[in-house]
Structure 1
Amino acid sequence: MNFNENTEEKIPQTVILTEEVNLGFGVCKCIEFLKTHGGVDDGIKEDDEIDLDRVDDLGRTIKPLEQYRMMCHRFHGKNPSKNKIKRTNKLRAQDILKLRMSFQDTPLGMINTAKKLMIEQHKPFLDVKLEKK
């Protein structure tokens, strides 16, 4: 099957096949064969510092318990109940308020609002009961 008779290059007529190795039965012989030919890793990991963190909608890392719950919901195909969703949203809102809060104030900012009211009333104390006259 030499198609290039006029050219100097000659295509070899026969292709030499390597010998097939008899692996026998079982996985052990196959693994030994792959180790000798470089097809199996020895189990040595080069980079042990890989750590995958899951992130929620706001970009914060999710706690391991919450990651587990999400994985279970995805695996079983059942979503959390309506009340649990409300509770988690409430806890997230409280966490956001705590992050916004200054270290001298309450989560709702009551000290700052009290100071503003004292400035508006021009008094050194706060009138809780305001009666309009």
Structure 2
Amino acid sequence: VGRANDLKGSGMHLREEDEANDRVRLEYLDEYGRPMTAKEAFRRQCHNFHGKGPSKRVLEKRMRRFEEERRVAKAHSRDTPLQMMSTLQHVQQLTQEPFVRLSGHSTLREEVIARAGALAAEQSGEGASPGGKQPRTR
């Protein structure tokens, strides 16, 4: 009764247990050297077998996906698209505190601007001029 009886007496049920230990992994790579999914590999084999390639739209979509992955990999992995992490780290360096206050941003902004001006003056070796403006030099 059922398909389970097809394996009885043939030794196939023993063979399935052996195959669990002897697995071979086929890894297909696309034209960019990235591993392909099973679906992508199957489609590629079908295109090769039938002698027809993928459509122009599918090729463009694949190219866009590759460029997007490359752009994401190139971007700094710890930072967000708005560069918030680097901004927060910069504020931490300026305030010399291991935290960043997220409320009361107006006082924080004034404090950061004041410390940034003091830090810039220390690095240039000059005192801050009146009015916070640097004299023009040629």
Q: Give the number of the structure with larger relative contact order, counting CA–CA contacts within 8 Å between residues 6 or more apart.
A: 2
**Under a length normalisation based on structure 1, what TM-score does the superposition of the two structures give?**
0.43
- Structure showing greater radius of gyration is 1
Which of the two has greater helix per residue? Answer: 2
